[in-house]
Amino acid sequence: MTFTPDALKTYPDIWGDKIASEKEEDIIIKGIEIRIKKYKTVTKLSGIRVSLDDNKSLFFQKLREELMQADSFRPPEEKAMNQYSYNTLSEADPGLDKAFPGTIKGESAFYIYNDHVIFHEESISPSPMERLTTFVEYYKKKFGIKTYPREETFEELDELEIL
């Protein structure tokens, strides 16, 4: 995968850094369709961000509701920065620490900044994609969202059985 900066676009800041280049991708994780943006920062960090504005499925509607409930746990400095830290979210929802075992306070499994869920590459954490998958699995289960294989998946199964 090659990252090429687009001089015509400006990217939102990642907390404490700026995005130098990014590539959009549509993916499906556990039946949830997600538009992600893989990025590299000017300091050569990489990761994945998921825009809450670009993703409008039921999953992301429920996530926005979850954030409104967690709002009372946010310290004033996070509100001023339009951020939800992992620590704040896990304080509001203790189940997060079970979903992301081994997350050290201060190192982020993920955080939300300017309406983007951010998964930075971390030295001792699983990859951003692994953490995004855990994130989707956790919240999908928490929200009670059921997903089913698409019709074309069934067509492929029929073909495999005939062969």
3-state secondary structure (DSSP) of residue 90: helix
Task: Decide if pLDDT at 7 tops 90.
Answer: no
pLDDT-above-70 percentage for the chain: 79
Q: pLDDT tens across 102-143, in order?
A: 666 556 789 999 999 999 888 778 899 999 999 999 999 999
pLDDT of residue 162: 46
Give which of 6, 60, 5, 67 is closest to 29, Cα–Cα.
Answer: 60
CA count, 13 A, side-chain hemisphere, 163: 6
Is-contact 111 93, C-beta < 8 A?
Answer: no
Question: Could you read off the pLDDT of 32-91 as tens digits, one per residue?
Answer: 999 999 999 988 889 999 999 999 999 999 999 999 999 999 999 999 999 999 889 999
b/e map 121-140, b = 16+ CB within 10 Å:
ebeebbebeebbebbbebbb
